[in-house]
Structure 1
Amino acid sequence: MTGVVFLLAPGLHLLDLAGPAQVFSSADDFGHRYETVYVAEQEDVPTAQGIGLRAETAWPELTADDLVVVPGWRSPALPRGPVFSRATLERLVAHHAAGGTVASVCSGADALGRAGLLDGRRCTTHHELQDELARRYPRAAVVPDVLFVEDGRVLTSAGIASGIDLALHLVAVRHGAFVAARVARTMVVHTRRNGGDQQASAMLRYRGHLSDAVHRAQDVIDARFADPLPLSRLAADVGLSERTLTRRFSDATGLTPLRYQQQLRLEHAEHLVGQGATVEAAARAVGFQDARMLRRLRARPTSS
């Protein structure tokens, strides 16, 4: 039996909590025994989504096999003052010192930072908070734009849904990739993403603009990225000339339509390779005629 203690802060995000809790609950359903416990400094815990939760105020006895998870809470920035008392933070430190594992989701990393558990370690958090986390805890090495980081039995993950990825990773480490995949399947999660994957996919990273025509073009490419998409056809689909589409697309995203399509193909191919496909098979699946172009794209710097 592995104990998973969720340390709840007022205003916590439900998915920061429910996602990882569901992972461990599903693993328990498959015979890998987990017991989830919810503790807080007060019995009634309000959430950011408006529903109240009830938690224990007494901590269970923990062993080195147990895990403590700190879900994040709603805040446009990390809180100025401590969310948890010094006594609670000392419990985190003591559990880790005894050989246990501690983890956080999103802004929960601030609690680990206040406890001193990020000092000298690599860590991450939600992309909107990572710069502030780095300023607040200069002895930590904040890794930007990744899903989760594991360093010395301290795991930190990005925002909201990335807590599911972190929990699936822990299940995979303890019970193997097959069990993690089985849990992901029963949760109808697309895949167990790797910790180094970017927090936002290409479909999201290049959408922060106000051009309706470019959004329409991206909709077409997103839906048909594995198909041949001549610029003439794409321009006709969105009602622009090829020259105007290329100019507007580049102004809005910094990419040409072809480069955007290649980004989507590369991202999906990397996922397939990560799941065990050969480079050749992944290249064909995402629309490349052979693996040469995929290999060239994989060799480019990620910022290109």
Structure 2
Amino acid sequence: MKVVFLLVPQLHLLDLAGPAQVFSTARDLGLDYELDYAAEQDDVPSAQGLPVRRTTGLPSLAPSDLVVVPGWRSHGFPQNGRLSVSVRTWLAAHHAAGGTCASVCSGADALGQAGLLDGRRCTTHHLLQDRLATRYPRAKVLKDVLFVIDDRVVTSAGIASGIDLALHLVATRHGPGTAAQIAREMVVYARRNGDDPQDSAMLRHRAHLSDVVHRVQDVIDARFTDRLPLRDLASTAGVSERTLTRLFGDATGLTPLRYQQLLRVERAEHLIGHGATVESAARAAGFEDARMLRRLRSRL
């Protein structure tokens, strides 16, 4: 999979570096990612004064590839960030061919210029949300969310939320265990909010400081389809079953079993959303049959 970062003059370095670090770490773990940095000029000035050099022009892309537009110093979307016709056409053509286009912070304006926000839900930095809604009245701008996904158009809020967005995309492709491993390597506590389709149990219940619980969650994330007895999880963490249950509840509000069930249901929902039958999705998520899946879906 190719991940192409579109470099716009006055881009914010963290908007670029955060998601790039996620995919770079994924590549270090052996996943097949190729990172490119595209621009119409060789050197692109950043908002922080450090110029960034492109590695490519506007490359040809496959439908499986991802384009990410970092935000830039906008002060409410003035002249900074105005895209040329060729860049707007390139973005729109990639999406029309089945590709995914994402943005961080004010980078949502680039997707708007390409016509990709019309009729879709989106978000941006909290200081720019009203301006984005005024600028693109056909878009539905959501507030108080970290990111939004609508028909392969992915928008995220302020600067650091690009990390959450990238972790979500990795989790969707490779599972929550991989995303959790990347988050731990980056020393970030993965978190997320948003509409239910984007909400992830793995990231939603990782915003705590208990290393014992993180270690147990690592095991559950990687093996959520397996049968995981409480005694084995407690042994992994080096604590008693009673202590683990107490620590896990304090950190997440859940038992280890309920956390595992949430991951299973989310995996099944993802498969069903991509055309799988309820029965096959249930088996792939670790359920013996669809009855338990249906029961948990109705509860959750």
Q: Could you tell me the TM-score, scaled by structure 2's length?
A: 0.65
Q: What is the CA distance between 1:34 and its match in structure 2?
A: 0.5
Cα distance change of structure 1 residues 93 and 273 upon mapping to structure 2, 3 Å threshold: farther
Could you tell me the percent identity over the aligned residues? 65
Distance 1:270 1:140 in 2: 40
Are 1:4 and 1:36, in contact at CA under 8 Å, matched by a contact in 2?
yes
In structure 2, what is the equivalent of residue 13 of structure 1? 12
Establish whether residue 4 from structure 1 lines up as the match of residue 11 from structure 2.
no
Distance 2:84 2:75 in 1: 21
Q: What is the CA distance between 1:80 and its match in structure 2?
A: 4.6
5+ residue gaps, structure 1: 198-268, 280-304
Q: What is the CA distance between 1:192 and its match in structure 2?
A: 3.7
In structure 2, what is the equivalent of residue 104 of structure 1? 103
Alignment of 1:136-285 (within 5 A): 136-196=135-195, 272-273=252-253
Q: What is the CA distance between 1:153 and its match in structure 2?
A: 0.2
Are 1:11 and 1:45, in contact at CA under 8 Å, matched by a contact in 2?
yes
In structure 1, what is the equivalent of residue 48 of structure 2? 49
How many residue pairs were aligned? 209
Q: What is the CA distance between 1:110 and its match in structure 2?
A: 0.3
In structure 2, what is the equivalent of residue 83 of structure 1? 82
Distance 2:170 2:13 in 1: 21
Amino acid at match of 1:39: A
Cα distance change of structure 1 residues 273 and 158 upon mapping to structure 2, 3 Å threshold: farther
5+ residue gaps, structure 2: 197-248, 260-300
Distance 2:175 2:28 in 1: 16
Amino acid at match of 1:26: T
What are the Cα deviations for residues 245-276 of structure 1, in whole angstroms up to 9, with x where unaligned? xxxxxxxxxxxxxxxxxxxxxxxx99825997
Distance 1:68 1:59 in 2: 11
Larger radius of gyration: 1
Are 2:118 and 2:138, in contact at CA under 8 Å, matched by a contact in 1?
yes
Q: Could you tell me the TM-score, scaled by structure 1's length?
A: 0.64
Amino acid at match of 1:143: L
Distance 1:3 1:273 in 2: 38
Amino acid at match of 1:19: G
Distance 2:68 2:46 in 1: 16
Distance 2:87 2:126 in 1: 26
Q: Secondary structure at the match of 1:149?
A: strand
What are the Cα deviations for residues 220-245 of structure 1, in whole angstroms up to 9, with x where unaligned? xxxxxxxxxxxxxxxxxxxxxxxxxx
Amino acid at match of 1:129: L
Distance 1:150 1:26 in 2: 23
Q: Secondary structure at the match of 1:111?
A: helix
Are 2:3 and 2:65, in contact at CA under 8 Å, matched by a contact in 1?
yes
Distance 2:153 2:134 in 1: 19
Cα distance change of structure 1 residues 51 and 155 upon mapping to structure 2, 3 Å threshold: same
Q: Secondary structure at the match of 1:24?
A: helix
Distance 1:146 1:66 in 2: 25
Amino acid at match of 1:179: T
Distance 1:194 1:275 in 2: 21
Establish whether residue 129 from structure 1 lines up as the match of residue 109 from structure 2.
no
